[in-house]
Each structure stands twice: as C-alpha cells, then as structure tokens.
Chain A
C-alpha cells in the first residue's frame, strides 16, 4: 500500500459518508432546507474560500459535493494527493454543517465546534504580532493522559493556541486540565471531522487578513503556508481518513507530526514521524519554523542596561575570571541544525559556588548557533554583543573580548543565587531574541575546568579567531559580490549615503562591510541595503552605474555620482560622524589627515572642526573627504590618486594608532620600510613650508608623484 492508496482510500470513504449524510438530510428536510454555520459571513467558510461559491441550502450542498468530486483525481501524483486531502476537508465541513441544521447546538461545554468570525478577528491580531506564535492541532489519543496533558501544557507555556480533536479531549478532561479559549486550549469536537473548525479559522484568516479573493485557491494556500503558523500532531493509530485529512493539512502548508510507524510514509518537512511524544513540541516548532519570543530572562538578579557601567570592586567580588592570567575565551560557532539542541546548557568544571571567594579562575563559554539563514560571518557580530549582554546583569562586570576577557561577579549577585546556568541563560535569551532572523537554535557550554579551558582555547578558539582574521584580510572589494549602503545618519544629514565595501568601512568607523551585511540580513528594511556592483564604469576610480543609481535613490536625488576610490572626482560624501578628515596639501602634492581627537592646527591651515564644516552635511567637496581610521591603511585609500603614499601629515597619536598596519601595507604595496617615519606630525610641523622641508629631507614618495590638481 502506498501513501496515495491511503489518501485516496480515506478520501473515498469520507466522500461516501458525506454523500449518504446529505441524501439522508434531503430526504428528511427537503432540498430547500437552509444550512449555515452560526456567526459567520462566510457561509461554509472552507468551501467558500476554496471555490468562491456560497452554499445556502441542502440542494446547493449536494451540488457543491459534485464540485468536490472534481478535486478527487486519482493520478498518483503529489498534487492529486493534496487535492484529495482538500476534498476530504471539504467533506468534513459538509458533515459538520449538517449538525447545525435548524439552529441546533451540536457542541456543548467544553467543546467549541464552529468558531465565530468575531473570534477570528480577535485571534488574527495576536497571530500577526506573534503574541500567539503558532496554532497546534492535536488529533487522536495520546499514549497516556499524562502525555496528553504534558504536550498541551508545553504549547500553552509557549503561548501557542492549542486545538484538540478526538480522544485527547477526554484525556485532558479526565486529568482535570483547565481548558477554554481564554487559556488558549480549545477542544473542538470528538469526531475527526471537527478538525475542519480549525481549518475554517485558518482559511477565514486568509480572507479577512490576507485579502485573498474567495475562490483563489492558489493564493489561499500561499497565505496559509506563509502566514498561518499551524501544525498537526496526530497520535497513532492513523486510519486512512486521518491520513487523507493530513494530506489536506499539508496542502495548506501545515506539517503533520505523528508517532505512527506502521504503514506510514515520511515526507520531509511535511509528514514527520517522531516516536517520542515528549519531542512532539520541539519537532513541530522546528518543522513549522516557529520561534518563541523570550519576554523575561529567568535569572535571580535584574537584567537591564542600567547596570551596564557597574564597577565591581575587589572587596565586593565573589569570584573573578581573568583572561590575562588564565586561559579564558568566548566563542560563537555556527553548527548544522541537527547538531544543536536548542536551549541546551552544559557546564564543564565547577559552578560558581565551588570557587574560593575572591579567587581568580578560568572561564570559557561556547555558544553554538544554528539556523537556515545563519552565516559564519555573523559570528563576530554576535560575539561583540556579549560584552553588553553580560554587563547588563546586575552585579556582573565584563571587559575585553575573544580570549582577553575579564569577568567579576559580585557577592550580592552570587548570594542571590546567580550561577553558571544563569550566565548561559542570559547569552541564550539575548542571542535568540536579538538575532531571531538568523538563529533558529542556540546552545551554551560553559567551561570552568582549567585544563579544558587551556585545551579548547588553543585547539578551538584561537584557530577560529585566526580564520576570521584571515577572512578579513582576504575580504577585498573585488572578492565580494555586493556592497552595502548605510543611511543611518540621514536623520541629521539627509543627503548623505555611505557606500560600505570590505576595504572601505563606513566613515564613522563603526560599520564594516560585515556589520552592514549582518544589519541587512537581520533588518531587511533597515538602513543597510544591498548595492550591486555589476555595471562597472571605471575600475580605477571605483565608478559603477549600480552605485550611482543607489546613491541617487537613497539620497532622494541629491547625489548623482560617487566614486569609491577618488578624493578628487565625485568623492564619497560625509555625514558628520567621520573619525578622520583628509584634505589635499598642495605644496607637497600629498594629503594631510586629521582626526576628531586632535584639536590643534594642521598644515592645511584649518583645524578638524573647520575642516568638518566644509566636509560634512552630505556635500561633495573635491579634495576633502571624511573617513574611518581603519581606512587609512586600506589599499583602496584614494587609490585613484595613487593611494596612501600620498599621506604627508597626521597627528602623532593617530600616526601611532595606524603605524603597524600602515607600515605593513606600505612595505607590501610600495616596498617602503617604516613609511610612518616619513609622515609629518604636529611635533614636526603645522605649516606647509616646514613640512615640505621635512618631507624633502625624508625623501617622501608623494613629492615625486603626478600633481593632484
């Protein structure tokens, strides 16, 4: 027997029952007898939604059954099975509506049966907002009543609306479970056909909230698939009728999870066998891609940004972890979905109560994340947030990053009961909440065992950091398929658009290409949008049609052309957040750079503030440009005009900050040793004449280059 046989068989059986029931009703009441569900403007909602036709009486119901028959094609193709599933559901609706003839009330407390339109309008809003993250349909009888209650309660605790059909209702009643719409547990009815009342909710939601035209079956199914987060849990034994109904559910995009193993056919993501009823919840949520919002972090102390700057003095400290003395690290790792068990916490080594008061110890935490949209490029973005997460814990101090972290936990916080699992909980909850667009599963391992920390630091963490650094150095403008815009600053600089490339980070210094990429992924409507780079006009200047179109669009027409690599021709604009400003120094044929922290005079005759007033505000001033500190040693720094060998002057502090990277790059690109020694600073000169003398004496390469103007 194949799955097709089972679906078709079940469908035929239900069809036969429906036909007999309608004929019997006609014989009893006549064909003109009205049929309707109470409190709905949608006639027989499922039939109306699928076909666009309203049914008013038994005669029309009989005609409608003829239409249902046309769905019951018998080719052994997936679509035939789905359509037969839909036909089965519609038959179920017909059987159910017959129960309501003559205004009967077939369902009594605690059963609900048909739900009114008003309920759906009310339900729709929390479904849209995610306050009700999903709808569970539980069908049949659980192995024991304890299993039934445990499953229902697990969904209830997650805010999921639970509908019950069949034996599970009696099990819950027997166990004394408090049920009802108010507590989000809705027993529909004991016949399997009662399942249609939840399907009716989903389809009316599509009509009301999705503006789907009745009869537009394709859009109807698209809507339920994309927007109604429902799923089915069906307990064994599954007869053919239930299998046929299941095919209907799958057609609407609702996966079916069952513990039936006999004569069943697994369909990935749609018909899932999970023998362990305890795991129905996790399996269902994963299959339907439902993410549960964490509203309150369950730890014994407060969690708020108010605690971010809190300092823990030695005397108040219960325990300290110090990366400068012991092997410590923090690491986010991307794993396969199957390799991560969501919300799992592992502690290797002692818990906080086993350390001597005031002692220095080792700690490491590994956060495993998995998700369909997760990319390993996001790892450092998450990791950088740990500092803020951990500092927000009352009585906890965190400094540093990677394997140079230091953590202190106060005595008060320890006495409130704060332990390693609470630290893990904070990481888990924040990662899941803030990065829910890309993280489906997250598990935290905390290691306090000295030997294990040492081993993992060298075998796992350091190689991972090295890989990332390696990735950053190989990340060039040529190597990536797209750039990103950043318009975060438009609130005060309306016509400015940053074009962020791997080798040219945002001029504020805070938005790298990876940051922009992550921002775009996490907030697709947000400030960072993809800019393609397919239509290059001038490679050397960094001029692209795509980039010009993007800046025109994002600046609302204020800017038309921007080059990525030139300071003279259509240079990139600046908002006002720039870390540095560089401007041409005509006497030496080079450029001078000054930074925000340096308040003094430059050889250009202007201070940072004076330069800023002519560079900011989204205007293009050829010869002047705002940029980030990191950009100084980039191979793309005014590449069109010859690159960073044009730099003739920088404030001393800035020069020291960038010296290592700049000297390394200068050696690589121009074969110049100790390039920064040739660059002037305020201790050497702040006027062009003295500077020129110094440059001449040092043999600065800019002096021999083509004139800038």
Chain B
C-alpha cells in the first residue's frame, strides 16, 4: 500500500495584521498551519523579528549592544541604527523611563522621544509602555495620537486599561492594539472579546499572551500558546485568531543567568554570551509555540533568530 501523506492544514487561519506603512509595511499572521509546518501548506508571512530600544538610551546595555550603536547620540540615531540591524524587520520603542518607580519621566518628555523615533525611521514600529497601569493608560493613549498615520502597534492594552488604550489606539487614531494577558488562554480570549466590543476590528488586534524566560515556568507559556493556536485553527475560534507578538528581550535579560556577573559566577562563563543564550532559546521556543513576532535586543540574537526563521521557512 503506498504511503499517502496527509496535509495538516486547517480550514481556519490566523488573522493577518498589517503593521507600518509604505514599502516597509509588514504582515504578521495569516497562516493556516501549525508553526513552521510549511510542509502542510505554505506560510505566507514568516514570523518577524523586532529590535527593542528604550528611551533610557544605552547606558544599561551589554557591551556588544553599546558597540553596535557606537556613535549614536540621539534617539533618532539609535532608532535608525536599530532599523538597519541585520535580520530586523521592525523596531520596538519601549518607554521604560516613564515608570513612576524608575525615572518617572513626564508624558510630554516621552512623547518627544516617540515623535523623534517616528520621524526617524520608515520600518514598522511598536510602542511599548512602562508596565505601570495608570501611567501606561495616559502614555499609550497619547502615543497613539503622536504616531498618527504610522500604523504602529501599541503594546499593550491590559484588562485594567484596555478601554482607554483600546479606544485611542484602535478607534481614534487607527493604530494596532496589542492585547496583553498573563499566560492564560481564557484571559487572552476575554480581553480580545472586550476590545472587540469597544468596536476595534479583529484585524487591528494583536496579542501578547505573556511570556517568561526559558526555565522560568516556561512550560505555561508553551501550553498557553499551543492551546491558543489549537483553538484558533482546529476549532475556528475567531476570538483567538489574532497573531501573537512576544517581547522576549525584557524577560530573557532579566533573569539571573543573564544578570549574574562573571566575578560572582566564574563557572558560568561570559555574562553577555549567557544573556544571548537566554534570549535566543526563549525566542526560538516562543516561535516554535506559535508566536508570530518576537522582540529582541542583542544583534547576535536578532541575526541568529532571523537565520533560524529563514532556514525553517
């Protein structure tokens, strides 16, 4: 009896969301197969890799990151350089300095940075908040306005602040709304439903379903993403068909493997190499679990992951 290969493609597909504008605009999502299952059906939009920069500049960055951006004096320079990073598809500007528990920069100051970055680059942009709910509500609402016409992803609207951010980004200023939940399929779905009820079209929503660095409860992340993709594809669950974007850099560079100095942990080897290791393995894992885009920061990670994606597509 001859072997008959059976295609594992589904009748449902992940929604394709367009980000950015002009020639450099990109699409994420759109596939009707499991992650990288190109042998079942072609995947039109390969997963995308973004480069994270923050309004705090480069002071706290690892040496090779500093070296990569050498000579950059303004946020505009940094953003341009990030956009040119080999393997990068988009840039993510994180407004870390706005955090009330950190530098507590004013919304106006942050908007000046947003404006500078928006004007400097033509690749798609993601604007991420500082993770403080009440500050983000104001910050990201304003950022949606400042970035008008650029079709950026606003990362992110959470259960606590989705109304303001969702309405500003998704309705008033026609941006894409990032819906952030904490590693739970039901919360992810509920937030998508709530944002849709505001009137935001599904094609304007992407999900950040939450992540952890590998080894830090990462199996929850895998199972959540697996189940979301399974529900979206095999059950045609429309409220889970938004593509997933995962900010990896924040998690990967904030665990002890990446932070412990070489003096403290001589047996662990080079500190920066460890960070890259965490970033690359986390990114590869979330991509394999169904993430449609990842946000990284180290040039080596960006090059490695983009190579991995090319090889697998």
A208 within 8 A of B: yes
* Count of chain A residues with a beta carbon within 8 Å of a chain B beta carbon: 23
Interface 9-residue window, one of A58-66, A487-495, A681-689: A487-495
Q: How far is the CA of A490 from the CA of B188 in the complex (A)?
A: 12
Binding-face segment, B16-24, B168-176, B241-249, B250-258: B168-176
A209 with B171: CB separation less than 8 A: yes
Is A121's CB under 8 angstroms from B172's CB?
yes
A557 touches B234 (CB 8 A): yes
- A494 near B171 (CB under 8 angstroms)? no
Is B172 a contact partner of A527 (Cβ separation < 8 A)?
no
Beyond A208-B171, A490-B184, A556-B227, whether A128 also contacts B198 by CB under 8 A is: yes
Report the bound CA distance from A527 to B189 in whole Å. Answer: 11
Q: Does B155 touch A at the CB level, under 8 Å?
A: no
Asked if B227 contacts A125 (CB within 8 A), the reply is: no
> Which residues in window 99-133 of A have CB below 8 A to B?
121-122, 124-126, 128-131
Contacts of A208 in B (CB 8 A): 171-172
Name which of B166, B167, B223 has the most chain A CB atoms within 10 A of its CB: B167
Q: Are B184 and A128 in contact (CB under 8 A)?
A: no
Q: Which of A130, A209, A527 has the most CB of B within 10 A?
A: A209
Check: B301 CB closer than 8 A to any chain A CB: no
Bound: A556/B141 CA distance, A: 34
Among residues 186 to 216 in chain B, which have CB atoms less than 8 Å away from a CB atom of chain A?
A: 186-187, 190, 193-194, 197-199, 201
Interface centre among B185, B199, B235 (most CB of A within 10 A): B199
A526 within 8 Å of B (CB atoms) = yes
Per-position binary interface string of chain A over residues 612-644, scored 1 when its CB falls under 8 Å from any chain B CB and 0 otherwise: 000000000000000000000000000000000
| B277 located at the interface, meaning its Cβ lies under 8 Å from any Cβ of chain A in the complex | no
- The answer to whether residues A125 and B235 also contact, given A208-B172, A209-B171, A209-B199 and a CB cut-off of 8 A, is no
Digitize A208-238: 1 where CB-to-B-CB distance is under 8 Å, 0 elsewhere: 1111000000000000000000000000000
Chain A nearest CB, measured from B175 CB (Å): 12
Chain B's closest residue to A130 (CB) is B163
| B230 close to chain A: CB less than 8 A | yes
Contact call A125/B223, Cβ cutoff below 8 A: no
A-B contact count (CB 8 A): 61
Is A525's beta carbon under 8 Å from chain B? Answer: yes
Asked if B164 lies at the interface with its beta carbon under 8 angstroms from chain A, I say yes
Given contacts A494-B223, A494-B227, A556-B230, contact A527 B163 (CB under 8 A): no
B interface secondary structure, majority: helix
Distance in angstroms from A159 CB to nearest chain B CB is 14
Q: Does B231 contact A (CB under 8 A)?
A: yes
Pick from A124, A126, A129, A210 the residue with the most CB of B within 10 Å: A129
Residues of chain A within 8 A (CB-CB) of B227 are: 494, 556
CB-CB under 8 A for A556 and B231, given A130-B163, A210-B199? yes
**Bound Cα distance from A556 to B223, whole angstroms:** 12
- Provide the bound-state CA to CA distance between A128 and B167, in Å: 7
Give every chain B residue within 8 A of A210 (Cβ-Cβ): 199
CB distance from A286 to the nearest CB of B (A): 24
- Say whether B145 faces chain A, with CB atoms less than 8 Å apart: yes
For the complex, what is the distance from the CA of A210 to the CA of B199, rounded to whole Å? 6
- The distance in angstroms between the C-alpha atoms of A125 and B166, with both chains bound, is 9
Contact across chains for A525 and B167 when beta carbons are under 8 A apart: no
Of all chain B residues, the one with the shortest Cβ separation from A223 is: B199
Q: How far is the CB of B202 from chain A (nearest CB, A)?
A: 12
Q: Given A121-B145, A125-B141, A556-B230, verify A490-B186 contact (CB < 8 Å).
A: yes
CB proximity of B150 to chain A, nearest CB, Å: 16
Contact A526 B190 (CB under 8 A): yes
A490-B185 in contact (CB<8A): yes
> Is the beta-carbon distance between B173 and A211 smaller than 8 angstroms?
no
Residue of A nearest to B237 (CB): A556
> Using Cβ atoms and an 8 Å threshold, which residues of chain B touch A556?
185, 227, 230-231, 235, 237
Indicate if the CB atoms of A557 and B235 lie closer than 8 Å: yes
| CA–CA, A244 and B125, complex, Å | 50
| Given A128-B164, A129-B163, A557-B230: A209 in contact with B172 (beta carbons within 8 A) | yes
CA distance A130 to B193 in the complex (A): 18
Nearest residue, chain A, Cβ from B148: A121
Q: From B201, which residue of chain A is reached at the shortest CB distance?
A: A211
Name the A residues within 8 Å of B187 (CB-CB): 491
Complex alpha-carbon distance, A527 and B193, angstroms: 13
Chain A residues with CB under 8 Å of B167's CB are: 124-125, 128-129, 209
Provide the residues of chain B in CB contact with A494, threshold 8 Å: 185, 223, 227
Q: Mark A519-550, 1 if CB is under 8 A from B, else 0.
A: 00000011100000000000000000000000
> In the complex, A527 Cα to B280 Cα: how many Å?
36
15 contacts between A and B (CB under 8 A): A124-B171, A125-B167, A125-B168, A128-B171, A131-B164, A209-B172, A211-B199, A491-B184, A491-B186, A491-B187, A494-B185, A494-B223, A556-B227, A556-B231, A556-B237
User: Which residues of B line the A interface, CB within 8 A?
Assistant: 141, 145, 163-164, 166-168, 171-173, 184-187, 190, 193-194, 197-199, 201, 223, 227, 230-231, 234-235, 237
8 more A-B residue pairs beyond the given contacts A121-B172, A125-B172, A557-B231, with a C-beta to C-beta distance below 8 A: A124-B171, A131-B164, A210-B199, A490-B186, A491-B184, A525-B193, A553-B235, A556-B235
Interface residues of A (CB under 8 A from B): 121-122, 124-126, 128-131, 208-211, 487, 490-491, 494, 525-527, 553, 556-557
